[in-house]
Structure 1
Amino acid sequence: PCQTNIQAKYTEDKNIYSIVEPTDLRLFEIFMLLLVIICLVWRCFIVASAWNLKPYKLVGNEHDVQRLIVRLLGEQEASRFQIKITGDLKENRDWFSVSRKSESEPVTIEGSSGTAVSYGFNHYLKHALNCQVSWDGDQLELPPFENMPVVEYGFSVPDSFRYYMNVCTFSYSYVWWDWARWEREIDWMALNGFNLVLAFTGTEAVWKEVYLELGLTQDEIDDHFSGPAFLAWNRMGNMRGYGKLSDAWHKSQVDLQRKILQRMRSLGITPVLPAFAGHLPRAITRIFPKASITYARRWNNLPDKYCCPALLLPSDPLFQKIGSMFIEKLKEMFGTDHMYNCDPFNEMEPNTGDLNVLRGYGKSIYSSMSTVDPKAVWIIQGWFLVNEKDFWTKERARALITAVPLGQMLVLDLQSELRPQYKKFDNFFGQPFIWCMLHNFGRTLGLQGALGQVKQGILEGRKQNGNGWYWNNDGRHRNKLRRL
């Protein structure tokens, strides 16, 4: 056959030779090439859409931004400033403009959102008036009204996400705060342009309702929850017990969370709420004795009494049931803005490296969110890739991360200033990520920092399609070297 213009093709399933004309082969090859090109273009479109992930739009309102200025300056001095929120992005970016056209006119700050105009107000305070608003004190001695600088300038914020807070900080700092301290902190967030912020206060009250509905007793729930100083680690499944939360505590936290969320939303800050990672009280086996239960790995050599909560396997239908119940109850109590943080393996290796199980966790966690909230975006800390680097090979990380539809997971690349993981894991296989600075943790408290690496790292992350930056610190009132 090789000596003719006809090519023989063996068809195994029929065990015969079929005669194919060369022209047919060329057409088939062209068709396959076009199919590959279409698939690649579609893949690029999906990846580009993922990289362009934006916070669901919370614009905020002018009244609440003006009240922020009043809290800082007082009624009389605040009247020197006028606020205007347009709600419109410019080239998909937040922006603000500052204008004072004459010595007799107020300063007008216009911008795309409450956080943008708050950022613009703070920018004018700093750079035109040499003022400062900080954690530990303010310098707000304004010059006479007629001596305030006449200016006309604008600024386009380069990052879609300006993310703030660390899961640990809720135990190390926030859990001891009242509303006055929270109000001050939320003002500070807006003044520094943060638009995506963790909001975990009151989480245990939601879980308490879910656990009671599932049939757990109050004593069983009390045995599971940790005390306020350890809640962060209880929430991530690292420990159980070690303290007790009263009914009065739950009520106070729910009331406080509602104030926190109302203020964040009114200023244009998108709150990030918790979701279900699979960790449960051990007593869940009394209610569901046939459930596919394993136990979390021992963390920090904790004794048996305080370690190793139950960990539900993702293949069990109970995973979806409990995860969806939690999101429904969460929405009922606090509303939602579609952004959820969930860390199934924080500082703990999974019990198996099986790719199907890891992929199952990714699918089940996301599904338990999206079943109730179709707009859900899963935010995951990338610290597990740093802390358990020997376990998380590229194949295992890919199994977990790509189990979620592209653009519906946002990876926090913790400690990017020293150990960026996006380089190791192929820009997280197409999922959008945030370049993070781990500002302080593990007794790192000094007035110090790798400033050159921080500045250069942010710029490099943006080139790799990072969607924002994250100031991530374990505790407050430490190390003022920030915001380069």
Structure 2
Amino acid sequence: MVPPSGEKAYQIAGDVFVEMWERVTRRRPALIRSPAEEDDLPAGDVVLIGSDAVHPIAHALIRRGALETLGLVYGTDGYRILCVPDQGRRYLIVAGGSGRSTLYAVYDFFRRQAGVEYFWDGDVIPRRDTIEWDGIDVIENPRFRYRGLRYFAHRGLHRFQAEHWDLEDWKREIDWLVKKRFNLFMLRTGIDDLFQRAFPDDVPYPPTDAQDPDARDRSYDDRTSFWPLKYRGELRKRVLQYARDRGLLHPEDTGTITHWYSHTPSSFYRSFPDFPVITDQTRGYKLHTAAIWDVEHERAWDAYWRLTETHIREFGCPRIFHTIGMAERRFGKTRRDNFQKKLYVYRKTQQILREHYPDAPLLIASWDLAHQWEDEEVHQLLNEFDPERTILLDYTADDADKVSYRDWHVLGRFPWIFGIFHGFARNSDIHEDYALLAGRLEEAKKDPMCRGLVLWSEISHSDTFMLEYLAENSWQPRGLKASFAVKRFCRTRYPGDLAARMEPLWSKFLITSQTAHWSMRGTQRVVLSEPQFHMLTSPWLTFTPRRVEEILAERDKIRSGLKPAPEVLAGLTTLAETHFENPLWRRDAIDMARTIANRALLATLMDAVDQMEAWRQNQAGPWKIRRLAQLNRQLLEALCDLLALSDDFSMAASLRRL
């Protein structure tokens, strides 16, 4: 029984409850809108969707003393699932402090009472004759206010890159976000037709049957859309509306938003030939259409705000804002020139935002701070932000060689979100040092100023284990150790007998996978730069003495991590005989095996570096190098055969889906 009023999410929660009940029991319960009076209730047990703030029957139960309170903090993500026997019938109250958290409660009810589990690549739904709820009483509240993911603008295989997802793909993804109790996501997939909507008389749509006129061949600066740009704009609108109906937050980009994935169309400059663009940039993107407009001119700021307000009007909802500043660029002749210009941009961005939305939270993306700022410069910047309305989105908090939130004096002093960057668009295998991550998250969970836990990667769906770890610990960080996460992952993703056999394999496999962890500056960069797949272009294959030393240090770590790999592969091979048709297991097994192959390929390449240096110094013969080359080719062929088992790795399959 859904309430007669309230957010649309309450009606959706009722629809979901009915759908899930039917999927479990094969019986469909009746869905009705709540009457104003109890006298009009149908006979039998009743499920009440929503709290007493929206549901008159829940309010009546409290009013007459059937219960005192739901114990909710209204307007938040907490929820209660409660069985209330009263006057000869049972009421099941499934209620959140908001419509969004009422949806959380519905999905959690079926997880607890029916054994349902939710994954990005499908739900696990046991069949039952009935679902018991007698005596249930659950109260849940999140530790972190903000929990979610970013979807990035790179293009590639359908599984990994959200640029290629159509509406049905996005509906599944957004439903999964809600099932996992996330509340924040960001489309960093370009700006679609924002310029055409903001400047309709001056910026035409590009041709639908040819390359974008501003594209640069075979580069990330080719933003030609497979679908017509106008359709992409409508798709964006429908995706964000679908998410908004379920209560999800999507940050509105503001400030100097022009970047490589948010180009200024050249037609804009033809319409405004004297439009001011920054001319003192010394490092970063050189393409004219990717330029930042001249921040010394009010005309530029007026146009930037016009883009933001157009996105709000056409696509968005101004509940939370985001700025990346002037990321990945440098300006002026001196470090002071660059620093002062970037400070000014943050000041101006805030000033304009506060004119229009005085109290909305503003997320400050950390990417440029981590790349190009000194710690002392970040200290000065943070001193200029109002901590009541500003949050540092530190999505480089998992950098192996820098603890940014400590170095920037954020702990206990300034609101921040712990962001796991995890990897670039190319890093599609399973990785992350969970001992390092768990230690840092222990600090974050104890800091009352830490407001969120997010994954801000450049790739989606690459690491199912990480996604489950994130979902569980962004709600309540109680399972930070990898051993705990493995037990939970296997128990929820596989049937009982398979779970018991996969748990030791996962535990051993993580010894291999954890030899790779993201770092912006440290030697671990060599692993995630994947030189084994860039033999002609990788800078790591320029063998200076220092670089050789770094490569061999990482080589020793990878070789040690590969010791359990034969046992893991043998175990997966045995299980494949009986479980290959299980799609969740098959995807995990291929991901585990290809991760091992990636590390082994890299290890042979690193061994070759060692042997080549020895050969150059007349300390080794050529036969070892030839043997390593043969082994490398065999590993690459085996990896190709492995990837051919799944359309996840087929560009042809991705293109057919488009």
Report the TM-score when normalising by structure 1.
Answer: 0.71
Which residue in the other structure is 1:266 paired with? 245
Which residue in the other structure is 2:235 paired with? 256
* Residue pairs, 1:299-314, within 5 angstroms: 309-314=290-295
| Residue in structure 2 matching 1:174, options 162, 183, 194 | 162
Indicate the structure with greater helix content.
Answer: 2
| Runs (5+) with no aligned partner, structure 1 | 1-57, 231-238
Aligned CA-pair RMSD: 3.9
User: What amino acid sits opposite 2:13 in the alignment?
Assistant: V
User: What amino acid sits opposite 1:67 in the alignment?
Assistant: D
Q: Which has the higher mean CA deviation after the structures are superposed, 359-368 or 124-133?
A: 124-133
- Indicate whether 1:132 and 2:120 are aligned: no
Helix, strand or coil: the match of 1:474? coil
| Runs (5+) with no aligned partner, structure 2 | 1-5, 31-45, 55-70, 474-658
1:396-433 alpha-carbon deviations (Å, 9 max, x no partner): 32454444433333221114234441111111895421
- For residues 197 and 181 of structure 1, the distance between their equivalents in structure 2, rounded to whole angstroms, comes to 15
- For residues 416 and 170 of structure 1, the distance between their equivalents in structure 2, rounded to whole angstroms, comes to 25
Which residue in the other structure is 2:108 paired with? 123
- Indicate whether 1:109 and 2:94 are aligned: yes
The Cα shift of 1:382 comes to 1.2
Helix, strand or coil: the match of 2:193? helix
**Contact 1:339–1:378 (CA<8 Å) still a contact in 2?**
yes
Which residue in the other structure is 1:289 paired with? 274
**Contact 2:152–2:187 (CA<8 Å) still a contact in 1?**
no
* Residue pairs, 1:59-70, within 5 angstroms: 61-70=9-18
Q: Closer, same or farther in 2 for the Cα pair 1:449/1:395, shift >3 Å?
A: closer
Which residue in the other structure is 1:83 paired with? 49
The Cα shift of 1:163 comes to 2.9
Q: Closer, same or farther in 2 for the Cα pair 1:217/1:474, shift >3 Å?
A: closer
- Indicate whether 1:96 and 2:75 are aligned: no
- For residues 92 and 438 of structure 2, the distance between their equivalents in structure 1, rounded to whole angstroms, comes to 31
**Contact 1:100–1:149 (CA<8 Å) still a contact in 2?**
yes
Q: Which has the higher mean CA deviation after the structures are superposed, 439-448 or 355-364?
A: 439-448
The Cα shift of 1:92 comes to 8.2
Q: Which has the higher mean CA deviation after the structures are superposed, 181-190 or 313-322?
A: 313-322
- For residues 231 and 275 of structure 2, the distance between their equivalents in structure 1, rounded to whole angstroms, comes to 37
- For residues 268 and 474 of structure 1, the distance between their equivalents in structure 2, rounded to whole angstroms, comes to 24
- For residues 63 and 325 of structure 1, the distance between their equivalents in structure 2, rounded to whole angstroms, comes to 35
- For residues 190 and 420 of structure 2, the distance between their equivalents in structure 1, rounded to whole angstroms, comes to 27
| Residue in structure 1 matching 2:310, options 329, 336, 339 | 329
**Contact 2:328–2:368 (CA<8 Å) still a contact in 1?**
yes
1:114-133 alpha-carbon deviations (Å, 9 max, x no partner): 33233233333334433211
- For residues 454 and 401 of structure 1, the distance between their equivalents in structure 2, rounded to whole angstroms, comes to 24
Which residue in the other structure is 1:208 paired with? 196
- For residues 412 and 378 of structure 2, the distance between their equivalents in structure 1, rounded to whole angstroms, comes to 9
Q: Closer, same or farther in 2 for the Cα pair 1:126/1:282, shift >3 Å?
A: closer
Which residue in the other structure is 1:50 paired with? none
**Contact 1:296–1:308 (CA<8 Å) still a contact in 2?**
no
Helix, strand or coil: the match of 2:405? coil
* Residue pairs, 1:346-425, within 5 angstroms: 346-351=327-332, 353=335, 354=337, 355-386=339-370, 388=371, 391-418=372-399, 419-425=402-408
The Cα shift of 1:192 comes to 1.4
The Cα shift of 1:64 comes to 1.4
**Contact 2:154–2:425 (CA<8 Å) still a contact in 1?**
no
**Contact 1:83–1:117 (CA<8 Å) still a contact in 2?**
yes
**Contact 2:324–2:367 (CA<8 Å) still a contact in 1?**
no
Which residue in the other structure is 2:180 paired with? 192
The Cα shift of 1:291 comes to 2.6
- For residues 422 and 128 of structure 2, the distance between their equivalents in structure 1, rounded to whole angstroms, comes to 34
The Cα shift of 1:295 comes to 6.6
- For residues 191 and 423 of structure 1, the distance between their equivalents in structure 2, rounded to whole angstroms, comes to 33
**Contact 2:254–2:308 (CA<8 Å) still a contact in 1?**
yes
| Residue in structure 2 matching 1:449, options 429, 432, 435 | 432
User: What amino acid sits opposite 2:306 in the alignment?
Assistant: M
- For residues 393 and 128 of structure 1, the distance between their equivalents in structure 2, rounded to whole angstroms, comes to 52
Q: Closer, same or farther in 2 for the Cα pair 1:118/1:282, shift >3 Å?
A: closer
Which residue in the other structure is 1:46 paired with? none
The Cα shift of 1:459 comes to 3.3
Which residue in the other structure is 1:158 paired with? 143
* Residue pairs, 1:434-473, within 5 angstroms: 434-441=417-424, 443-464=426-447, 465-473=449-457
**Contact 1:101–1:152 (CA<8 Å) still a contact in 2?**
no
The Cα shift of 1:361 comes to 0.7
Which residue in the other structure is 2:319 paired with? 338
Helix, strand or coil: the match of 2:397? coil
Which residue in the other structure is 2:636 paired with? none
1:215-260 alpha-carbon deviations (Å, 9 max, x no partner): 4676799544789x98xxxxxxxx64x24348x6232223222222
Which residue in the other structure is 2:625 paired with? none
User: What amino acid sits opposite 1:309 in the alignment?
Assistant: A
**Contact 2:75–2:98 (CA<8 Å) still a contact in 1?**
no
The Cα shift of 1:358 comes to 1.9
Q: Closer, same or farther in 2 for the Cα pair 1:445/1:331, shift >3 Å?
A: closer
The Cα shift of 1:328 comes to 2.5
The Cα shift of 1:435 comes to 0.9
Which residue in the other structure is 1:47 paired with? none
- For residues 373 and 150 of structure 2, the distance between their equivalents in structure 1, rounded to whole angstroms, comes to 25
1:152-186 alpha-carbon deviations (Å, 9 max, x no partner): 12112121212322444788522211211111111
**Contact 2:418–2:444 (CA<8 Å) still a contact in 1?**
yes
- For residues 443 and 202 of structure 1, the distance between their equivalents in structure 2, rounded to whole angstroms, comes to 19
Q: Closer, same or farther in 2 for the Cα pair 1:121/1:447, shift >3 Å?
A: farther
- Indicate whether 1:319 and 2:300 are aligned: yes
- For residues 237 and 205 of structure 2, the distance between their equivalents in structure 1, rounded to whole angstroms, comes to 24
1:5-34 alpha-carbon deviations (Å, 9 max, x no partner): xxxxxxxxxxxxxxxxxxxxxxxxxxxxxx
1:242-280 alpha-carbon deviations (Å, 9 max, x no partner): 24348x623222322222222222222122232241536
| Residue in structure 2 matching 1:183, options 158, 166, 171 | 171
**Contact 1:285–1:291 (CA<8 Å) still a contact in 2?**
no
The Cα shift of 1:135 comes to 1.5
**Contact 2:82–2:93 (CA<8 Å) still a contact in 1?**
yes
Q: Closer, same or farther in 2 for the Cα pair 1:316/1:182, shift >3 Å?
A: same
- For residues 133 and 396 of structure 2, the distance between their equivalents in structure 1, rounded to whole angstroms, comes to 40
Helix, strand or coil: the match of 1:311? coil
The Cα shift of 1:357 comes to 1.5
**Contact 2:205–2:230 (CA<8 Å) still a contact in 1?**
no
- For residues 401 and 323 of structure 1, the distance between their equivalents in structure 2, rounded to whole angstroms, comes to 23
- For residues 344 and 226 of structure 1, the distance between their equivalents in structure 2, rounded to whole angstroms, comes to 25
Q: Closer, same or farther in 2 for the Cα pair 1:92/1:187, shift >3 Å?
A: closer
Indicate the structure with greater strand content.
Answer: 1
**Contact 2:76–2:101 (CA<8 Å) still a contact in 1?**
no
Which residue in the other structure is 1:244 paired with? 224
Which residue in the other structure is 2:534 paired with? none
Q: Closer, same or farther in 2 for the Cα pair 1:368/1:71, shift >3 Å?
A: farther
**Contact 1:315–1:360 (CA<8 Å) still a contact in 2?**
no
**Contact 1:385–1:421 (CA<8 Å) still a contact in 2?**
no
